[in-house]
Amino acid sequence: MTTPAGPGDDRLDPDLSAIMSERRQLINLAYRLLGSLAEAEDVVQETYARWYALSLPQREAIETPAAWLTKVASRICLDLLRSARVRREKYVGEWIPEPVPDGTEWDGRRSGGITADPAEQVTLDESITMAFLVVLDAMTPAERVAFVLHEVFGYPYAEVAEIVGRTPAACRQLASSARRRLRVAQAPATPAARHADLVRDFKVAWEAKDIEALIGLLDPAVTAIGDGGGLATAVLRPMTGSEQVARFYVDLAVQASTQALGFTILERTVNGQPGLIAQLDGVTVGVIAFEVAGDRIRHIWAVRNPEKLRPWTSVGSAEGVPGGPDVTLHD
């Protein structure tokens, strides 16, 4: 089996550079389809393994290798999405898509500690926000694949049909159904500056343990969801209501200060939007994404599952400390 071994190998395999240049596109596609960067990377590895498992005549017979790679990766994702529904039934607590960092503070400065090969990075745009991914996760596997391939990546319905195993007309209906879901679920767009101001004000109020200030920033019907995956403590069910959510976050800060832990809240870009990360003694133990509607915060998603926080942890900072120090959270 032919495998890429190092610089200069493209002289032996002229198609190697073209094939490997598709890696970032495949990572972007698989992440949007699965909501998990770790699973997306596995899908891309499996896709390349299948490519290099082909004989040379088989590879040469493929007219458009990029299209072949996309088709294979999409089908692998579709199979994973179908099995994910069974796996999620066994997941402890709520499941939130894996947050993706870009290593910058809101003003564009590098925050340090987060590095990635450009070929592994996910392009940050409106199709990667946590609110968008949460809606995608509520779709059927076929809806999600049809919508992402056509609406986000621009593939014609005829090509989508080959991947999903439906007719082009059926794929058009799937994408239309997905668009309706998004229109119903998503909040009207809020100016980026206002979104950032609200998240920063939330951070300030949280650090000050100011319940009234937090309540004023939250929509009365705000929903807060935590994801510990059974590996870190987190509330097992969504919390609703501004007062309950505000008291929860204040209690969290009080617990950290009472236990004399180095509790730090940092401003970071989370899935392309202003968000926060929580650190205990320098270890990232939570990544928080927000959805803003008008002048209030409508949704809060807090990921604490350490398996989903690996891209957020600088090399060596959490060695031997799965998930880092913990603060007891009560359901």
Residue 261: exposure state from Cβ atoms within 10 A (0-12, 13-18, ≥19): middle
pLDDT beyond 90 at 307: yes
Matching fold, domains 9-96+138-185 and 192-312: no
pLDDT beyond 70 at 323: no
Structure confidence at residue 104 (pLDDT)? 60
- Looking at the chain, the whole-number percentage of residues with pLDDT higher than 90 is 64
Order the strands of the 239-240 sheet from edge to edge: 239-240, 218-227, 296-303, 283-293, 273-280, 263-270
pLDDT beyond 90 at 249: yes
Among 47-56, 79-88, 217-226, 241-250, the minimum mean pLDDT is found in 79-88
Structure confidence at residue 125 (pLDDT)? 65
Structure confidence at residue 204 (pLDDT)? 97
pLDDT beyond 60 at 327: no
- Looking at the chain, the whole-number percentage of residues with pLDDT higher than 70 is 82
pLDDT beyond 90 at 69: yes
Structure confidence at residue 328 (pLDDT)? 36
- The pTM (predicted TM-score) of the whole model is 0.83
Q: Which superfamily is assigned to 9-96+138-185 in CATH?
A: PhyR, sigma-like (SL) domain (1.20.140.160)
Structure confidence at residue 233 (pLDDT)? 84
Name the DSSP class of 227.
E
pLDDT beyond 60 at 9: no
CA distances from 159 to 87, 147, 153, 169, 205 (A): 29, 12, 12, 12, 50
In the predicted model, what is the mean pLDDT of residues 27-46? 95
Cα angle at 301 between 260 and 305, to 5 degrees? 60
Structure confidence at residue 185 (pLDDT)? 85
For 79-131, the pLDDT digits (tens) are 999 998 777 878 899 999 999 987 566 655 544 444 444 445 566 567 789 99
**Architecture of 192-312 per CATH?**
Roll (3.10)
The DSSP string of 58-91 is: HHHT-S-HHHHHHHHHHHHHHHHHHHHHHHHHTS
CA-wise closest residue to 79 among 46, 127, 122 = 46
CA-wise closest residue to 22 among 61, 72, 80 = 72
Which band of pLDDT confidence, cut at 50, 70 and 90, is reported for residue 162? Answer: very high
Name the DSSP class of 313.
S
Structure confidence at residue 5 (pLDDT)? 40
Please indicate whether residue 200 or residue 126 has the higher confidence score (pLDDT).
200
Tell me the pLDDT of the chain averaged across its residues.
Answer: 84
Q: How many CB atoms lie within 10 A of CB 222?
A: 25
In the predicted model, what is the mean pLDDT of residues 45-66? 94
C-alpha–C-alpha distance, residues 249 and 41, integer Å: 33
pLDDT beyond 60 at 326: no
Beta strands in the chain (DSSP E): 218-227, 239-240, 263-270, 273-280, 283-293, 296-303
Structure confidence at residue 121 (pLDDT)? 57
| Pairing between β-strand 263-270 and β-strand 273-280 as defined by DSSP bridges | antiparallel
Sign of CA dihedral 208, 210, 213, 215: positive
pLDDT beyond 90 at 29: yes
Contacts of 149 (CB under 8 A, 6+ apart): 29, 74, 155, 159, 160, 163
Structure confidence at residue 85 (pLDDT)? 76
Tell me if 288 sits within 8 A of 270, measured CB to CB.
yes
Which band of pLDDT confidence, cut at 50, 70 and 90, is reported for residue 4? Answer: very low
Structure confidence at residue 324 (pLDDT)? 34
pLDDT beyond 50 at 11: no
- Hey, where are the domains in the chain? 9-96+138-185, 192-312
**Cα–chain-centroid distance for residue 43?**
15
The H-assigned helical ranges of 186-224 are: 192-207, 211-217
213 conformational bin, left if phi > 0, alpha if psi -120 to 50, beta if neither: alpha
| Pairing between β-strand 218-227 and β-strand 283-293 as defined by DSSP bridges | unpaired
Instruction: Provide the token pair at 265.
Output: 């809240």
pLDDT beyond 60 at 28: yes
Give the number of C-alpha atoms closer than 13 A to the C-alpha of residue 181, restricted to the C-beta side.
19
Phi (first) and psi of residue 266, to 5 degrees: -120, 145
CA-wise closest residue to 243 among 271, 272, 216 = 216
In the predicted model, what is the mean pLDDT of residues 134-153? 95
pLDDT beyond 50 at 134: yes
